[in-house]
Amino acid sequence: MTQDYSAWLTPDRLAVEEEQWRESAIYRLYAADLLDFMEHNAARSVIEVGCGTGWVATCIPPWIDYTGVDANAECLRLAQTKSDRPFLNADIRGLKTEPRDVVCAFAFLKHFALHEWPQVVHRLLSFGRLGLFTMNVGTHDLDDISQGFAHTWVSVPTLAAAADLAGHVIVQTAMLHTGETLVETCTRS
């Protein structure tokens, strides 16, 4: 049986993950990519869906209107110890919020199974005129549920179809040293 990653992430598991996130400092790379993307597109507001424990928020300058969203209340409790930014406790499937210039999600979309992945991407991209997210991209679609939660890979055609479903086009992709693909999108003109 699989469960949502946010439910799988019990306090004990979260403590281990939190230490790994802190030590890897991958959030600094994500934040740098986000800030470059925002500067290039003259964006001033961002919503980060799947913000986890708020590491990216610690790197965002105060002049940027930032909001973090996560379904795991314990993650948000830790996020609020790091930053005074607003954080919303919500699952993306039911999230209601005003769109921002940019919607971003880092190491988040891989935790949705293929049967719902296109709809989750559609929902995610509905919260921004620009999108920036990471995803595992491979030669074919793959649901890996061996750890009890989804760890999904999508093909380039699946990725493009999901962006199209959301009214976005993929502007650029780049392979990160983590093995994830960084995806930039914008709404169709």
Summarize pLDDT for 108-130 with one digit per residue, the tens: 999 999 999 999 999 999 999 99
Q: Could you give the CA distance from residue 11 to residue 2 in angstroms, rounded to a whole number? A: 18
Per-residue CA distances from 17 to 11, 13, 20, 114, 156 (Å): 10, 6, 5, 24, 29
pLDDT for the residue numbered 30:
96
Q: Which of 14-18, 51-55, 98-102 has the lowest mean pLDDT?
A: 14-18
Q: Could you give the CA distance from residue 120 to residue 66 in angstroms, rounded to a whole number? A: 21
Q: Per-residue confidence at 2, pLDDT binned at 50, 70, 90?
A: low
pLDDT for the residue numbered 76:
96
More confident residue, 15 or 13: 15
pLDDT for the residue numbered 20:
84
Q: Could you give the CA distance from residue 59 to residue 48 in angstroms, rounded to a whole number? A: 13
Read off the pLDDT of each residue in 147-169 and give the average, rounded to a whole number.
Answer: 89
Mean pLDDT (the chain) is: 92
- CATH, range 5-187: 3.40.50.150
* Domain limits, the chain: 5-187
Read off the pLDDT of each residue in 60-75 and give the average, rounded to a whole number.
Answer: 96
pLDDT for the residue numbered 133:
98
Q: List, in sequence order, every residue forming a beta bridge with 88; answer none if it has no partner.
A: 69
On whether the CB atoms of residues 129 and 44 are closer than 8 A, the answer is no
Question: What's the pTM?
Answer: 0.92
Measured over the CA atoms of residue 47, residue 69, residue 178 and residue 2, the dihedral's sign is negative
Q: Could you give the CA distance from residue 35 to residue 44 in angstroms, rounded to a whole number? A: 10
Other C-beta atoms lying within 10 Å of the C-beta of residue 179: 10
